[in-house]
Amino acid sequence: MLIYPGNPAPRIRLYSRIPRNKTNESLISMGSHTGTHVDAGRHVSNSGYTADRIRLDSCMGRCRVLDLTKHGNEIHGSDLKGRIGGSRIVLLKTNNSVRQYARFRKDFAHVDMDAAKYLISAGVRTLGIDYLSVKKFGKDDDVHALIIDNMTLFEGLNLKWVKAGEYTFIGLPLRMATDGSPARALLLEGRWNL
């Protein structure tokens, strides 16, 4: 699993095991922004909302997956215009999905400020991207903060085998008062009434 530089690697330790104990139980230790996760406002501001305050209606519903694999490392507003189609949940499949990195790379595809503003103006309430961050590596958090302040943000999605189109998205964070939370994200084909 890729780990963003400076974040702790996940660890799983079996602390109770059969036959010595009656049950098997594990201690899981990982950063709140490990693997597929959702960001909360507290991630970019001490006064921001926590993951347990994320509205569940922004975590499930009809969504549109956009194939941006040929648009380079920076997603611009012009790459998105005319492609949102009124969708409230949008997932960006970028060249990160094609590359499927074996180790963390700093040159991952990300969203620029113009694209962030376009998504907000288009009424998108939830954004997902196929890497551990939506912003350019090493840059300030302006794009990150703008997106988190205006929509729910899922990062670290695995979209390698997903084709562009409409799906039903379900991405549920753990209900914790933290700056972010691991999430299990699913895409269902067809229409589901959620």
Domains and CATH numbers, the chain: 32-188 (3.50.30.50)
Write down the catalytic residue from 43, 71, 76, 110: 43
Residue 167 β-bridge partners? 63
What is the tens place of the pLDDT at every residue in 39-67?
Answer: 999 999 999 999 999 999 999 999 999 99
The answer to whether residue 37 is catalytic is no
- In sequence order, the 6+-apart residues with CB closer than 8 A to the CB of 130 are 91, 92, 93, 94, 96, 97, 109, 156, 157, 158, 159, 160
Is pLDDT of 83 > 70?
Answer: yes
Q: What is the pTM of this model?
A: 0.94
CA dist 142 and 145 (Å) reads 5
Is pLDDT of 12 > 90?
Answer: yes
pLDDT at site 102: 78
Average pLDDT of the chain to the nearest whole number = 94
